[in-house]
Amino acid sequence: MKPAEMVERAKIEGLAAISIVDHDSIDGLGEALEAGRGAGVEVVPGVELSSQYNGKDVHILGYYFNPRCRNLADYLKIFREERHKRAEKMIRNLNNSGVKILIEDVEVRARGKCIGRPHLAEELMHRGYVGTIQEAFQKYIGYGSNAYEEKYRLPPEEAIRLITGARGLAFLAHPGAGIGETVITNFIKSGLDGIEVVHPFLHAERQRLLKSIAHRLGLLMSGGSDCHGGRDGNFYMGRYMVPYAYLEAIRKAHRERWGRTPATSGQAEMIAD
């Protein structure tokens, strides 16, 4: 779904605020902000940076950053180029195994945005190699498959510094069981501001533990549905609710650190009930 469509869906779901945090891209931010102004839904500037820690994927969320920060813009440009190279490598791997798709067709599916594996999966579906997005990942482009290629990643500490350097707040996204309190404490030393405590992958017991860690370490809390537009047949928006008080605390922390909070769309307080 396009950013404007996501914002409109948020309004239908009765959400006061939304943040679209694309992986390593802020291309949709302008459209989302404009749509939020029209829909009366607050849109919080966001991004999700890919990183790796001890061989595990670790995602760092950024909120309320300055989208015109040069260092952040330079990184996103590098990542966009690396994503294209990765897609080309995976397509070569697929071609070598007899699966014939073209980078030009995948580029069309990406509509000028950052290329990701879901775009390859869509092309595999279109060409009749698979029946679903999930099957494409399981059979061809998922972790451990013959076509899979690692993506460009930063160390988490560097991702955190990129966000804080852009006058934003950095959060650890949906930390799994392999990321414990000691690791989180080390990330705080690099400038981590908070952790995500609401997410489809986090069961109730894990959520309680993460909230307890956040309180002990003085971290902010965030959350989200990780909705990918229903591409996988599930539309999670509105099913994983985050208290509006979390956003108020995030905004307050940003204001206290940087003196002002970047303008967002809409006046969420008017519809927060």
The 10s digit of each residue's pLDDT in 31-84 is 999 999 999 999 999 999 989 888 888 999 999 999 989 999 999 999 889 989
**C-alpha to C-alpha distance for 252 and 105, rounded to whole angstroms:** 45
Helix (H, G, I), strand (E, B) or coil at 170: strand
Q: Are residues 169 and 224 in the same domain?
A: yes
Q: pLDDT per residue over 105-152, tens digit each?
A: 999 998 877 888 999 999 999 999 999 988 999 999 998 899 999 888
Q: Are residues 237 and 159 in the same domain?
A: yes
Q: pLDDT per residue over 229-257, tens digit each?
A: 776 667 888 888 899 999 999 999 999 99
What CATH number does residue 221 fall under?
A: 3.20.20.140
Tokens representing residue 141 in the block: 């482009």
Q: Are residues 182 and 61 in the same domain?
A: yes
**Of 99, 77, 81, nearest in space to 90 by CA:** 99
Helix or strand (DSSP H, E) at 171: strand 169-172
Answer whether residue 80 is part of any domain.
no
Answer whether residue 146 is part of any domain.
no
Residue 125 and residue 99 in contact, taking contact as beta carbons nearer than 8 Å: no
**C-alpha to C-alpha distance for 210 and 192, rounded to whole angstroms:** 15
**Full domain range(s) for residue 70:** 3-75+152-270
Answer whether residue 133 is part of any domain.
yes
Answer whether residue 239 is part of any domain.
yes
Q: Are residues 93 and 218 in the same domain?
A: no
